Amino acid sequence: MTLAKEDKIYVAGHRGLVGSAIWNNLKQRGYNNLVGRTHRQLDLTDQLAVRRFFDEEQPKAVVLAAAFVGGIMANSLYRADFIMQNMMIQCNVIGEAYRHGVKKLLFLGSTCIYPKNAPQPMKEDALLTSPLEYTNEEYAIAKIAGLKMCESYNLQYGTDYIAVMPTNLYGPNDNFHLENSHVMPAMMRKIFLARMIHEQQWQLIRQDMNCRPVEGIDGKADEEEILHVLAKYGIEDNKVTLWGTGSPLREFLWSEDMADASVHVLLNVRFADIIGIEKYSSVHYGQSADGDVDRNSSTARGGAIPALGEIRNCHINVGTGKELTIRELAELVAKTTKFEGQLCFDSTKPDGTPRKLIDVTKLHQLGWTHHVEIEEGVEKLFQWYMQSLQTA
C-alpha cells in the first residue's frame, strides 16, 4: 500500500526520542495528517482506551515508537515492568491496528533482541540462536514478541507490518535521567555536572536540577543536598565514576537518522520486499476488488502454504555498522564538554553485552544509509542539552 499525503498516520510515542523525530520527518515530507497522544491523554496499556482511540481516529498507518525504556540500572530494578508494560503496549496497538484495518504499521524494537554472544556484526538471522543478555532479558523478550506479532500477522492475514531494530539511539528530546536514561545522555550529564561542580557554576547546576530533578532534589535545594544526591550517581568535583569496565563496544545512531530510516521503510518497503517474494500479497493472499487484502480469503493463512517454507527474521536492523568502546565514548563526551577531570570505571558494576554491532546490509539493500557520524552527533546532542537548560 502506498500512503497518500492526506492519509492519517498515528505516531505512538510522538513526544519521545524517536517518535518526535519521526513526526518531524513526516512533516518535512508533506505528511501533515498526523495524530499523537501523550501518556496522560492515552495509556497504551489500557486496552479499552486504545480501542476507543482507534474507533475515533481510524488511522491508515501506525508507527509504534512508544515503549517503556531505560538503561542497565532501570532494566535490573524494574524487570516485571519492562516485560509487562511493553507487552501490553504492543498487544493493544498491534491488535487494534489489525482490528481497524490499518494498512501499514511500523514497529520499533531494539538490537538487544540478539543473543549476548551473537557473532559480530549481528545479522537478522542471529535472533533466537542462543541466550540473551541477562540484564535486559525482559525488555528483549517483549521486543522479540512484538516483531513476531508483526511477522505472524503478515503471514496469517496478509498485512504489511514491518519491524525495525535500531541500535543505541541518541539525539534531540533524549532522556537525561540519571537512573532511567540510556548510556550517552546519562554520561554526558554526569560529566558536565562534574565540571560545573569543579568550576563552582552553581547557576548552571541549579538550572540542570530544576530541569531534571534527581530523587526529588531540584535546584532550590542547598548545595550540600545537591552534592550528596549527585555523588550517589558517581558525580563529584572534577570526577565521574561510570558503571562497568569501559570495555564493551557499542554502536550509536543519531535519532534523526533513525527517523529518516523509519520513514523510508514506512513509505517504500513492503513485507514482500523483505522476504523476497514478488507480489507477495496478490499471489499468496486473496485480494478484494479495490486491490486491498481480502481478510476473509481462504488463502490468507501463510503458515498453511508449503511453498512459502519457513519465513522468519523479517525485521530490519537500523544502524551505522560502526562501533567504539564505552571508554572511548566517555573520552569523546569529555572532550566535547571540555571536561578535564577524572573518568573512573567501577568494574564491580555490570558491563552488559560485550559487543553489539549490527549488520546493516539488508537496510542498505533497501535503499538507506546513515548520515551523522558519532563525533558530529555528540556535539549536536551537547548543544541540545545546553539549550534545554534555558527552559528551566
The CB-based long-range contact list for 45-53 (8 Å cut-off, 24+ gap) reads 45/85, 45/88, 45/89, 45/92, 46/92, 47/88, 47/91, 47/92, 50/92, 50/93, 50/96, 51/92, 51/96, 51/99, 53/96
Rounded to 10°, the helix 202-211/374-389 angle is 90
Which amino acid would we find at residue 12?
A
Question: At a CB cut-off of 8 Å and minimum separation 6, what does 16 contact?
Answer: 65, 66, 173
Among 325, 332, 318, 314, which Cα is nearest to 370's?
A: 318
Beta bridge partners of 358: 122
Report the chain's terminal Cα–Cα distance, integer Å: 45
CA distance 291 to 266: 19
CA distance 172 to 257: 11
The secondary structure of residue 128, as a DSSP letter, is T
Among 61, 49, 150, which Cα is nearest to 104's?
A: 61
Region at 292 (left for phi over 0; alpha for psi -120 to 50; beta for the rest): beta
Q: Is 233 a catalytic residue?
A: no
CB atoms within 10 A of CB 352: 21
Considering the candidates 31, 139, 161, 285, report the single residue annotated as catalytic.
139
CA angle 328, 333, 334 (to 5 degrees): 95
Q: Which residues are catalytic?
A: 139
